[in-house]
Every structure is written in C-alpha cells, then in structure tokens.
C-alpha cells in the first residue's frame, strides 16, 4: 500500500548556501576568523527540531533560553528544570499555537515571561543597517542571540511565516547563518542578509503588522525567586483586570481616608480564587535524593528566598497589612491558607507529581503525613524543612519541601523571652508584595492628599532594598504583560513592560 507524505524539501541554492556544503563550510571558517561566530557554539549545543509543524516560534525561543542558561524555575520532567516548547504557554494556549502558530508579539511576550531580557523590533520600525549592526554584535558574543520572524517566500522557500535563530554572520558576503528549527524540511543554511530582511518586511495577516526580529539575552539575575504570578488558572484574566483596572476605580468611588480603609477596599473585593494567582515558590526534592543535608545550590537559592521574605517583613507596608489582617473581620478568609502543614502537604503533592514526571494534575496524590524539621547548615544556620509521605494509588514517595523562613518577633505566648518564632511565607507578605507590585497609577484617584502622600511613601520601590525591589519589579512586569495579553496589545507594544 502506498504511503503519502513529505520527506524534506530541496533547499533553493542560490540564494541559500547549505551549511554542510563545501561552500557553507568555507563561509563558516571565514566567519570564525573574523570573530562573528561566537554565539554559534552555545546555540548549536541546544539546537532542536520543532516538535509540531506550527511550533517554530516556541522551538526557537526554548533553544535560545537554554543556550543562555536561563533557569525556568519550574520542573520540565522528572526532577529537571529545562525549557521545552510545552513550557512556553503563558501568552497563548498550546492547542491554539498547534493550529495557528504564534504571532511575533506573543513570542516576544513569552520571552519576557520566561525571564529573558528582550529587545524587539518590527521591520517596519527599523532598517537593514540597524538589523545588520545587531546581528554582528550578537554574533560576536555568546550572551545575546537573535530570533527572526520572516516569510519564507522572500527566501524562495516553500511555506509562509517562520521563526528561527541566527547562528552567525559572514562579514565579507553579508550573509547570516539561519539555524532553521524545521530541520525535517530545510537544513541550516547561509542566507543573504538583504533577502532575510525582505522576508521580515512581509505583513503578518493575523496582525496586519510587519514581522521582525528580537534580541534575547540573559538578565543580570534570575527573576521571581520567591513570588510569581500564575497564568495556569483559567481565571487569571479576570484577576489581572481586577488588579489593574478595578482597584483604582474602587479607591476612587469609596470614601477612603486612611490606610486601613485602603486595605479594606482591596481585600474585601479580592476574587475568591485569588490564591491561585500569586504564589510563593518552595523548593522540593525527593527525600532519598537529598538526605538531611542541603546542596550548595539548595542553600544558595534558599538564602535568596529568605532574604526576600525578610525584606518584605521589614517594610512599613507589611506592618500595616499585618495589623489590618489581625484586627479585621476578613482575617479568617485572608489567613485560610496560612497553616503551614496544609500548605506543605499541598506542595508535597505537587512535588511528587512533578518529580514523577506527570505534570497534569495532582488530584490523584494524597499527602498522608507531614512533619516539620529544623536543619542546621555548616555555618550553624537554621533551615526549615517539611517532609511528607505522598501516596498515589499503591505507590508511596517521600518528598522534602524547603520552606523559606526568617526570624520573627518575640512570641507573645512564650515563657522564654529569648525564644524566637520562625515566620514563613503567608497571606500577609503575599498581600504586601502584591500591593507593592501594583502600578503607581493605582493610587492616582485617592482624593485625600495626606493619604496619597502616605501611600506613595509605603509603596515606593525607591525605598526598597535591591533584592526586594527586583522581586517587585518582576511581578509588576508580569502584571503588565498579562494586561497586554488581555487587551490584545502584545503585537503592537513590543517593549519591555515598564517598571
């Protein structure tokens, strides 16, 4: 029986020069001599083939993120953190991308969400000289990579819109090396920069805008060490709208005269599923993998998390939030998720699910028991660890959760005045961080000038320590990206979310 199908395409040469051909090898060696292939080695180490016909954008981005050694901050499969196309789903559902592909603006949004530093340009708002300059600059380093969005017809290739990274540049021939992620169709090839530029100037019918290019580099530190916003829950659009649009109007419509009333207006109106939107991030591991001691990596990450938590709890805003929650009728609702054993049991289940390589649903997992331990590191520092036994069917798995904590105030109920309690992430600091992350325009409608001055003093990021300031800016950028997605503006506004 005959089998219909396609096996590769013949690469049109010219204008392309196949990378593995004699001429392609000569171009490579000449480019190496001029120093414009420095980015190639990292990229080719993580070169991948797109797993779906419409996943060229996702494959290009995951390849570049891995080449830049950006930590996704969440597990891929088993215990490993790693960027894969399936990890890039916050700006567009994967099922939609499978059918329609992804627009240039949404891929830029994904790069921002993944924690990369991104500069992006529509071809219509740039020029070939600037493009060439950026390609040369990135080709001379291994900490910046170029992803292009172009139409294949300009390159005399079959197909329509496509994404691929640029692996290098030949100065004398003015040619770019395209590491085509559709390797089932075309191999890597050299292409005249002028033709590639023509391909980027094609209009994308889905957006009515030209295609373009983005420069992706590694930020100076990993974003979101302790707190992160979640786009996984289906209600994220409504919650983002509430925070960005509704809160300012609520403050305008209420007779708000003091900080307590401001907090009351915000907290009383929070959506019921708000806890699914912002989370604090705990480290998990198999109990048998770690034993009682911490690795250098675990200690370093935990130290940063604890630093962020301590800085949150030292802010003046935190003291107002803590006072409000302890004295208001909303205390029960706000603190419902603050019981550490309950949270730890939930995180243990999530950890077992992830470590088992089943990132779909943790509903089949049940944490039968948890116990809290206080570990001592080599420098005699106390670390809180919750151990749980997770059951899934007939199987059991021991999971450790490393809980960021900081020394708190003296416990009022302690007979020993020298005994300190340990404060763990709870709704008090989560709400504090959320308020700090709201855009400054949130408070613009407050009519009481003294209150407005007081609020600005409490939420101004200029007064925050560097570590907390970066954490807050990361959350603020996430909020702005979500708002852009909600409003359908990611293809128009390519710039990094303002801080």
- Mean pLDDT, residues 111-116: 82
Q: Are residues 328 and 469 in the same domain?
A: yes
Q: How many domains does the chain have?
A: 2
Verify that 155 and 239 share a domain, yes or no.
no
Give the closest residue to 146 by CA, choosing from 36, 221, 51. 36
**Arithmetic mean of pLDDT, 351-379:** 54
Say if residue 263 is in the same domain as residue 401: yes
Across 165-179, 230-244, 413-427, least confident range: 413-427
- For residues 237 and 339, membership in a common domain is answered with yes
Which of 176-180, 402-406, 422-426 is predicted least confidently? 422-426
* 498 within a domain of the structure (yes/no): no
Q: Specify whether 206 is catalytic.
A: no
Which range, 10-19, 245-254, 324-333, is most confident?
10-19
Give a yes or no: residue 374 inside a domain.
Answer: yes
- Are 114 and 165 part of one and the same domain? yes
**Which run of H or E residues covers position 469?**
helix 466-487
pLDDT given at position 264: 84
- Cα dihedral sign, 93-94-100-104: positive
Per-residue confidence (pLDDT) for residue 245, from 0 to 100: 80
Q: Does 497 reside within a domain?
A: no
Q: What is the pLDDT of residue 362?
A: 45
What rounded mean pLDDT belongs to the chain? 78
Is 231 a member of any domain?
yes
Residue recorded with tokens 């001592």: 376
Alpha carbon of 11 to those of 8, 180, 187, 310, 423: distances in Å?
9, 11, 8, 58, 62
**Residues 400 and 421 grouped into a single domain:** yes
Q: Which of 183, 217, 251 is the last residue of a domain?
A: 217
How far is CA 205 from each of CA 54, 57, 87, 102, 210, rounded to the nearest angstrom? 16, 17, 26, 12, 9
Strand partners, 119: 215
Query: Which of 182, 217, 252 marks a domain boundary?
Result: 217
Q: Which residue has the higher pLDDT, 385 or 35?
A: 35
Same domain, 186 and 245: no
List pLDDT tens digits, range 269-279.
Answer: 777 666 667 77
The active-site residue, picked from 113, 122, 180, 480, is 180
- Is 122 an active-site residue? no
Name every residue whose Cβ is closer than 8 Å to that of residue 208 and which is 6 or more positions away in sequence. none
Other C-beta atoms lying within 10 Å of the C-beta of residue 97: 24
Which residue, of 217, 250, 283, is where some domain finishes?
217
85 Cα distance to chain centroid: 14
pLDDT at 335 over 50: no
411 part of a folded domain: yes
Query: What is the distance in angstroms between the CA of the first residue and the CA of the last residue of the chain?
Result: 62
Active-site residue, 180 included: yes
Q: Which residues are paired to 388 by β-bridges?
A: 370, 399
Q: Are residues 231 and 211 in the same domain?
A: no
**pLDDT tens figures, 303-323:** 888 888 888 888 999 888 888
Flag whether pLDDT at 67 surpasses 90. yes
Catalytically annotated residue among 56, 90, 91, 138 = 56
Residue 28's domain is classified under what CATH number?
3.90.70.30
Do 316 and 252 lie in one domain? The reply is: yes
Domain presence at residue 222: no
Least trusted range by pLDDT, from 160-164, 401-405, 439-443, 467-471: 401-405
> Is the confidence at residue 101, as pLDDT, over 80?
yes
Contacts of 44 (CB under 8 A, 6+ apart): 167, 179
Catalytic residue among 162, 424, 474, 480: 162
Instruction: Tell me the residue range of the domain where 247 lies.
Output: 227-486
d(CA 285, CA 386): 11
With a cut of 70, say whether residue 361 has pLDDT above it.
no
Q: What is the share, in percent, of the chain residues with pLDDT greater than 90?
A: 26
201 shares its domain with 248: no
pLDDT at 417: 37
Regarding whether 263 and 181 lie in a shared domain, the answer is no
Kindly state whether residue 494 falls inside one of the protein's structural domains: no
pLDDT confidence band for 193 (50 / 70 / 90): very high
Per DSSP, the residues of 238-298 read HHHHIIIIIHHHHHHHS---SHHHHHHHHHHHS-TTGGGTEEEPPEEEEHHHHTTS--HHH
Residue 117 pLDDT: 85
354 with 393, same domain: the answer is yes
The DSSP symbol for 117 reads E
Q: Are 12 and 155 in contact (CB under 8 A)?
A: yes
Q: What is the pLDDT of residue 113?
A: 79
Which tops the pLDDT comparison, 463 or 40? 40
Residue 11 in any domain: the answer is no
């Amino acid at each position: 029986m005959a089998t219909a199908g396609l096996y590769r395409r013949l690469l049109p040469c010219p204008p392309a020069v196949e990378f593995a051909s004699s001429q392609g090898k000569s171009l490579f060696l000449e480019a190496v001599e001029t120093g414009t292939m420095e980015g190639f080695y990292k990229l080719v180490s993580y070169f991948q083939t797109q797993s779906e016909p419409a996943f060229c954008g996702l494959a290009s981005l995951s390849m570049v993120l891995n080449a830049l050694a950006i930590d996704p901050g969440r597990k891929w499969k088993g215990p490993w953190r790693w960027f894969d196309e399936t990890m890039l789903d916050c700006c567009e559902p994967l099922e939609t991308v499978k059918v329609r592909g992804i627009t240039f603006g949404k891929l830029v949004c994904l790069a921002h969400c993944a924690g990369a530093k991104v500069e992006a340009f529509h071809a219509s708002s740039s020029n070939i000289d600037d493009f060439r300059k950026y390609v040369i600059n990135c080709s001379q380093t291994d900490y910046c990579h170029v992803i292009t969005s172009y139409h294949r017809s300009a390159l005399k290739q079959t197909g329509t819109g496509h994404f691929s990274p640029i692996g290098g540049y030949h100065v004398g021939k003015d040619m770019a090396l395209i590491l085509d992620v559709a390797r089932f169709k075309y191999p890597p090839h050299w292409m005249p920069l002028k033709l590639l530029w023509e391909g980027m100037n094609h209009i994308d019918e889905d957006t009515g805008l030209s295609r373009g290019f983005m420069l992706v580099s590694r930020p100076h530190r990993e974003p979101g060490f302790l707190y992160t916003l979640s786009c996984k829950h289906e209600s994220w659009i409504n919650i983002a709208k509430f925070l960005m649009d509704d809160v300012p109007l609520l403050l305008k419509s209420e007779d708000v005269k003091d900080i307590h009333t401001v907090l009351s207006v915000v907290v009383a109106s929070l959506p019921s599923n708000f806890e699914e939107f912002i989370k604090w991030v705990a480290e998990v591991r198999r109990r048998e993998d770690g034993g009682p001691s911490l690795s250098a990596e675990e200690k370093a990450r935990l130290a940063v998390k604890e630093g962020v938590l301590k800085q949150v709890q030292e802010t003046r805003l935190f003291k107002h939030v803590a006072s409000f929650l302890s004295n208001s009728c909303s205390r029960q609702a706000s603190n419902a998720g603050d019981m550490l054993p309950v949270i730890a049991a939930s995180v243990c289940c999530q950890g077992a699910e992830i470590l088992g390589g089943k990132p779909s649903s943790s509903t089949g997992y049940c944490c039968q028991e948890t116990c809290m331990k206080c570990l001592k590191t080599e420098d005699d520092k106390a670390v809180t660890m919750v151990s749980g036994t997770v059951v899934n069917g007939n199987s059991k798995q021991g999971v450790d959760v490393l809980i960021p904590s900081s020394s708190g105030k003296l416990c009022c109920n302690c007979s020993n005045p020298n005994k300190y309690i340990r404060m763990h992430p709870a709704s008090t600091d989560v709400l504090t961080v959320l308020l700090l992350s709201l855009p400054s325009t949130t408070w613009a409608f407050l009519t009481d000038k003294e209150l407005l001055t007081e609020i600005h003093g409490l939420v101004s990021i200029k007064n925050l320590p560097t570590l907390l300031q970066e954490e807050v800016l990361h959350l603020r950028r996430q909020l702005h990206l979500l708002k852009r997605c909600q409003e359908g503006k990611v293809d128009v506004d390519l710039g990094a979310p303002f801080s």
